[in-house]
């Protein structure tokens, strides 16, 4: 294991030392190289505003806004009707990508920018990953920066954490999020705690990512939602992507963060298509996204349930309701500024999640809202979650375990009575 980590470090050193020799095409071959982007970096805030800065190779987390709760001076400039979608209109040119391609583009840009970024996991190399997120990276960067591993999640997760301690920035792919339960010890006792238990001597800049959620008849073991498992681990950040735009922006931000980040991807969203900017951009890991402004009720959701909520919103609008929809994106910590601002306006909250009801993200979010904004609520918080049962294989039964749009419509109607 030590030899492999040393080999990765040696490979990155060779990449820099021989950039004018045999390795000089490593960065030049990027489809979206930084030179093509004129060295500019955009940080996109949840209120739709852009921050522009130089894109130096040394710049990492310091270019990001790190506060989970927005500063007071942001309140005047931010509008509840603003969202990253507004920012998209300001870009000079855009290109269309599927969500898994957006993840790959973000990963590739970071590997071009920083030679310490490497990828490891099962079939991530020449096969290109189980959902093709890493397709084409192994021939470009070599087998030491895109490392195929045995089927041993505890081993390669521990190896990635060790590599992060030595100065690399590993991106660890779990072929399925359910498999990462085998690496729970490494993630909880090592990944989340080593920075603290070492007295700050070690940083763990590692990204753990992979597909999860209820697919289409994948069975109980392959339909896990592990957000609730990982949320209680100190020292770990969690984000969930839901569009190609935020998938790329969150991937880049996670890689640049000095904290360990778990990036949740939904298995049914990989083929979602969207036009995203040609210019480089990075999203904030700790900010929610205003999807739809409204007045009557705040609907908080994330990942796949964003689309169930938006489908229900069409019905609700036809019935005379005006729901405000927020994609919380940051599962840990919560963006209580954006959430609180909405609660103070609508006074009603509906949480829609695919996670299990008992001990899920919704339960933690309910507690946080009750603790911080109880006086602004005109009705009890309602939380719609998946059934506390193993996900059935039968398609009809599988649908019954997950929140559906008609349930959301009914819940809003009852809340607004």
Q: Is the pLDDT of residue 69 over 50?
A: no
- Residue 59 has a pLDDT of 37
pTM over 0.85: no
- Residue 97 has a pLDDT of 95
> Which among 108, 110, 153, 289 is annotated as catalytic?
153
Looking at 117-121, 371-375, 385-389, which range is the least confident one?
A: 385-389
- Residue 278 has a pLDDT of 93
Q: Is the pLDDT of residue 56 over 70?
A: no
Q: Is the pLDDT of residue 171 over 70?
A: yes
Q: Is the pLDDT of residue 143 over 70?
A: yes
Spell out the domains of the chain, with CATH numbers in brackets.
94-277 (3.40.50.970), 289-416 (3.40.50.920)
Q: Tens digit of pLDDT for each residue in 176-227?
A: 888 999 999 999 999 999 999 999 999 999 999 999 888 888 888 888 888 9
Residue 409 Cα distances to 56, 93, 219, 350, 379, angstroms: 48, 37, 28, 11, 16
> Which among 222, 266, 296, 308 is annotated as catalytic?
222
d(CA 285, CA 251) in angstroms, rounded, equals 9
The structure tokens listed for 104 are 């790959």
Closest CA relative to residue 211, chosen from 167, 176, 186, 246 = 176
- Residue 43 has a pLDDT of 52
- Residue 178 has a pLDDT of 87
Is 398 annotated in the active site?
A: no
Q: Is the pLDDT of residue 62 over 80?
A: no
What is the rounded average pLDDT of the residues 381-401? 90
Closest CA relative to residue 193, chosen from 183, 184, 178, 204 = 204
- Residue 199 has a pLDDT of 94
- Residue 72 has a pLDDT of 32
d(CA 264, CA 134) in angstroms, rounded, equals 16
Is 73 annotated in the active site?
A: no
């Amino acid at each position: 294991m030590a030899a492999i980590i040393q080999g990765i470090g040696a490979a990155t050193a060779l990449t820099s030392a021989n950039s004018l020799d045999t390795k000089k095409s490593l960065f030049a071959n990027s489809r979206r190289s930084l030179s093509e982007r004129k060295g500019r970096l955009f940080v996109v805030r949840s209120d739709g505003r852009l921050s522009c800065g130089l894109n130096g190779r040394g710049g990492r987390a310091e270019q990001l806004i790190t506060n989970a709760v927005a500063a007071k001076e942001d309140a005047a400039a931010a509008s509840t009707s603003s969202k990253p979608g507004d920012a998209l209109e300001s870009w000079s040119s855009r290109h269309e990508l599927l969500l898994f391609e957006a993840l790959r583009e973000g990963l590739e840009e970071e590997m071009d920018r920083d030679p310490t970024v490497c990828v490891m996991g099962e079939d991530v190399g020449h096969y290109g990953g189980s959902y093709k997120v890493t397709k084409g990276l192994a021939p470009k960067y070599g087998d030491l920066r895109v490392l195929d591993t045995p089927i041993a999640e505890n081993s390669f997760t521990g190896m990635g954490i060790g590599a992060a301690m030595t100065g690399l920035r590993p991106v660890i792919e779990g072929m399925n999020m359910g498999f990462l339960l085998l690496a729970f010890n490494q993630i909880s006792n090592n990944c989340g705690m080593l920075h603290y238990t070492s007295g700050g001597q070690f940083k763990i800049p590692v990204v753990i990512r992979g597909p999860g959620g209820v697919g289409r008849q994948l069975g109980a073991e392959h339909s896990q939602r592990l957000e609730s498992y990982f949320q209680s681990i100190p020292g770990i950040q969690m984000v969930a992507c839901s569009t190609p735009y935020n998938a790329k922006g969150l991937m880049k931000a996670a890689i640049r963060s000095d904290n360990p980040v778990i990036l949740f991807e939904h298995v049914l969203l990989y083929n979602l298509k969207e036009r995203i900017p040609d210019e480089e951009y990075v999203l904030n890991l700790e900010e929610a996204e205003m999807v739809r402004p409204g007045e009557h009720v705040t609907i908080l959701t994330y990942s796949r349930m964003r689309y169930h909520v938006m489908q229900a919103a069409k019905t609700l609008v036809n019935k005379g309701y005006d729901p405000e929809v927020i994609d919380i994106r940051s599962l840990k910590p919560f963006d209580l500024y954006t959430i609180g601002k909405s609660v103070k306006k609508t006074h009603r909250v509906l949480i829609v999640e695919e996670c299990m009801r008992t001990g899920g993200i919704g339960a933690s979010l309910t507690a946080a809202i009750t603790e911080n904004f109880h006086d602004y609520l005109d009705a009890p918080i309602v939380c719609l979650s998946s059934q506390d049962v193993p996900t059935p294989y039968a398609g009809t039964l599988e649908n019954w375990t997950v929140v559906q749009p008609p349930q959301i419509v009914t819940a809003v109607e009852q809340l607004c009575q």
